[in-house]
Amino acid sequence: MHILIVEDDQAIAANLYDFLESRGHRVDAAADGTLGYHLAVSQQFDAILLDLGLPGMNGITLCRKLRQESQVDTPILMITARDTLEDKLVGFEHGADDYLVKPFQLKEVEARLNALHKRYSGRMTRRKLEVNGLSYDPKTFSIRFESKEVKLPPKCIRLLALMMSEPGRVFSRKELESEAWEDAQETSDTLRSHMHVLRRALMRAGGYDPIETVHGIGYCLNSRAPSQD
């Protein structure tokens, strides 16, 4: 996961940073609300760990601005020194997804982040997506190229929508399988054959195949169309 930590307490921030990085996550950190907000709107994160009491812009304001002004729907795990129902309600009201009270166990932080990320991945496909002439409409659960509908089986639509949610990012076979088949165990042949169907249909619709195979890892949707010459 790519995680943003917004926390002004240097010791807590360093602890979180070191722990999450040692667990294989890519981590960025901001020590005040203004920088945190700037990073959250300018980069793509999988989750944000947000302290409530911050200099510059407090956690609640940051949360509200992200959701309302910038339409950023990255999951937010709010961390706070206080534990009152009122604080929780205010946090949730302004767009936080979960809440953790200091002091906390680092393992607990990771477990909560993983749970949020999992929920959020399932939610991605509710956004309207557009990449290089391809569009995905969650309301009609359909894919179009330019304005013509591309007929695809539902599993292929799910796979493509997931890749369209982050063009240029490599999705592992496991991530793609769990998006299309949820918890059912599928063989890699099933994914491969669905990818084949998907790529052939896109090739027919747009004249080129926008999906790239990343050997040994998975697949990625090119963020740019091939040049015409």
Binding footprint of Ca ion on the chain (CB under 5 A): 8, 51, 53
For residue 54, the minimal CB distance to Ca ion (Å) is 6
Cβ proximity to Ca ion: between 8 and 87 the closer is: 8
Cβ proximity to Ca ion: between 91 and 218 the closer is: 91
> Which residue's C-beta sits nearest to Ca ion?
53
Number of Cβ within a 10 Å radius of residue 220: 18
Q: Which amino acid is at 203?
A: M
Contact (Cβ atoms closer than 8 angstroms) between residue 113 and residue 1: yes
Cβ proximity to Ca ion: between 8 and 175 the closer is: 8
For residue 80, the minimal CB distance to Ca ion (Å) is 8
For residue 26, the minimal CB distance to Ca ion (Å) is 23
Cβ proximity to Ca ion: between 55 and 153 the closer is: 55
Contact (Cβ atoms closer than 8 angstroms) between residue 152 and residue 143: yes
Q: What angle do CA 8, 14, 18 make, to 5 degrees?
A: 145
For residue 12, the minimal CB distance to Ca ion (Å) is 8
Tokens in use for 24? 């294989």
Report the C-alpha gap between 214 and 195 in whole angstroms.
Answer: 13
Report which DSSP code applies to 169: P
